[in-house]
Structure 1
Amino acid sequence: MAIGRSRLDKLLSEKLNIKRKDVRLLLAQKRVAVDGCLALDIDLIVDTFSQITVDDEPVQANQAKYVMLHKPVGVVSATKDDIHKTVIDLLDFEYKDSLHIAGRLDLNSSGLLLLTNDSRWSEMLSKPDNKVAKEYHVTLANKLTVDMIPAFLNGMYFEFEDITTKPATLEILSDYVAKVELIEGKYHQIKRMFGRFRNPVVKLHRQSIGNLQLDATLMPGESRELHPFEVQSI
């Protein structure tokens, strides 16, 4: 959901289909509340998720929603798809059709996927300048080598897009498994970076976004709403 911002008098005029001078009267009579507080200022800026009442009756009651999903392999990160099951199809929430994906995973990847109707929050997660790190566990077809570590850290140039990736950390966990942390998500970035070493990715699993870890109790395909402290933790 795009987060619209507006002056309170303009919004109430549109919602109640009344003139703005009548809105001023409502405010003067102390009949309007925003987020539980008495509203007196016609210039007050409200947004899509501001809780607004007139005479204790709701005029706007949109709720921001934040969902964590354990995405399984074989499910597409999309709201609609004619071929594959989508992540939206896995959800049981009645508001699921209002959600969009905050950071996709490709069809053959698994792990932590976040969905929301709060576009400001999802944009915050996706901007590299905000340095929200994503952690992935990667299983490779061939043995890992230590020379990969500085290559990931220094960034790699992709000629097709004419870009150099931002520094990423690579930790070798075993001969064939690595932990990769990066703050951006270019198209198939991790697979392409390992591709420079002719080492195909067998499995790709996202374990965390920022400080938010995938809930270990969620089985593939299961989801839950985020707790308020989790929303703020990223």
Structure 2
Amino acid sequence: MTTSGERLQKVIAQSGITSRRKAEQLIIDGNVKVNGKVVTELGTKVTGDDNVEVNGFPLEKEASVYYMLYKPRGVISSVKDDKGRKVVIDLMEGVSERVFPVGRLDYDTSGIILLTNDGDFANLLMHPKHGVEKVYVAKIKGIPDKRELGRLKRGVKDEKDLLKAANYNVLSTDKKKNTMIIELTLQEGKNRHVRRMMEQLGYPVMKLKRERYGTLTLDGLKPGKYRPLSPKEIKQIRNSALKL
């Protein structure tokens, strides 16, 4: 057992033997062992190195899988939605493993999102200290000057968060329509990061797309489609998180 990894009830549910709610009850009732010891705490976390038994039977470990999806706008970055809206899992036809999204993209944001059943991989990429680069292209209302754009790298306060970009690049401006298209590189990913940052500057985002995640790009992938990551791509993005 470890302080990192995935919650035990989530691992049990992802194995496909029961729902997460029923997995929680199995734990509470003392029907789950980790490395030979009964565990009744719901907050317990396990990794792929831990041996989990449910009702005396070892939990079969799914082979780890890794996918990249081109998420369209109007899709929720979740396994399910209580309002019945389309979620990213609905687009993963043909995938039998119980995958989940690595982080989130807003409902109205398109672009790269990764899905996996490997909790350690997901935690590695999402942990703020690793600073995996994500590149977004935003169409904004208004045309900020260089001084205002400079604030992006220094940081913009919104509530308790300091929102900033590691870098930016102006791709085009349209004075007639009073719009700008700007590329933003982030090394962190707070909730609605780009939208909140630009709103605080007074230039609301009209359209937003994540075009790069670490070493991965959308090249060759159409909206709503997905593909498995190659072993080389998995290694590269792991290394980018570990700064190897």
TM-score, normalised to structure 1, is 0.72
Tell me how far apart the structure 2 counterparts of residues 70 and 101 of structure 1 sit (CA, whole Å): 12
Find the aligned partners of 2:130 and 2:155 in 1 and give their Cα distance: 18
C-alpha spacing 1:62/1:168, structure 2 compared with 1 (3 Å): same
- Does 1:212 find its partner at 2:216? yes
**Aligned-partner SS, 2:172:** coil
Deviation at 1:67, TM superposition (A): 0.6
Post-superposition shift, 1:136? 0.2
Deviation at 1:95, TM superposition (A): 2.2
Pairs within 5 Å for 1:29-48: 48=48
CA RMSD of aligned residues (A): 2.7
Max radius of gyration: which structure?
1
Q: 179, 191, 195: which one pairs with 2:195?
A: 191
Q: Which runs of 4+ in 1 moved over 6 A?
A: 10-14
1:95 is matched with 96
CA distance in structure 1 between the partners assigned to 2:7 and 2:64 by the alignment: 10
Amino acid paired to 1:196:
Q
> Which of 201, 217, 225 is equivalent to 1:222?
225
Contact 1:102/1:115, CA 8 A, preserved across alignment: yes
Counterpart residue number, 1:18? none
Between 79-88 and 140-149, report the one with greater CA deviation.
140-149
Q: Which residue of 2 aligns with 1:147?
A: 147
The equivalent of 1:134 in structure 2 is 134
* Superposed displacement of residue 49, structure 1: 7.3
Equivalent residues of 1:49, 1:63 under 8 A apart: no
Q: Give SS of 1:220's match.
A: coil
Whole-angstrom distance in 2 between the partners of 1:103 and 1:144: 30
**1:29 maps to what in 2?**
none
- Alpha-carbon distance between aligned partners in 1 of 2:124 and 2:233, rounded to the nearest angstrom: 15
State the alpha-carbon separation in 2 of the partners of residues 48 and 3 from structure 1. 12
- One-letter code aligned to 1:154: R
Aligned to 1:65: 65
Give the TM-score taking structure 2 as reference length. 0.69
Post-superposition Cα deviations, 1:163-221, rounded to whole Å, max 9, x if no partner, equal: 3235531211111100000111112111111112221111100011111112x221110
Structure 2: distance between partners of 1:142 and 1:165 = 20
Change (3 A) 1:90 1:79: same
Unaligned 5+ residue runs, structure 1? 5-9, 15-45, 51-58
Structure 1 residues 146-185: aligned runs within 5 Å: 146-158=146-158, 160=159, 162-175=160-173, 176-185=180-189
Matched, 1:86 2:87: yes
Calculate percent identity across the aligned residue pairs.
32
In the TM superposition, what whole-angstrom CA distance separates every residue of 1:12-39 from its partner, at most 9, and x where no partner exists? 979xxxxxxxxxxxxxxxxxxxxxxxxx
Q: Which amino acid aligns with 1:207?
A: E
Q: Distance in 2 between matches of 1:199 and 1:168?
A: 19
Question: What is the CA-CA distance between 1:11 and the residue it aligns to?
Answer: 7.7
Q: Are the structure 2 counterparts of residues 12 and 110 from structure 1 closer, same or farther at C-alpha, using a change threshold of 3 Å?
A: same
Alpha-carbon distance, 1:148 to partner = 3.1
Deviations along 1:77-119, one digit per CA (max 9) or x if unpaired, are 11111331111001113325x1111121011000001011111
Equivalent-residue separation in structure 2 for 1:167 and 1:208 (angstroms):
14
Deviation at 1:120, TM superposition (A): 0.9
User: 1:6-21 counterparts in 2 under 5 A?
Assistant: none
Question: How many pairs are equivalent?
Answer: 188
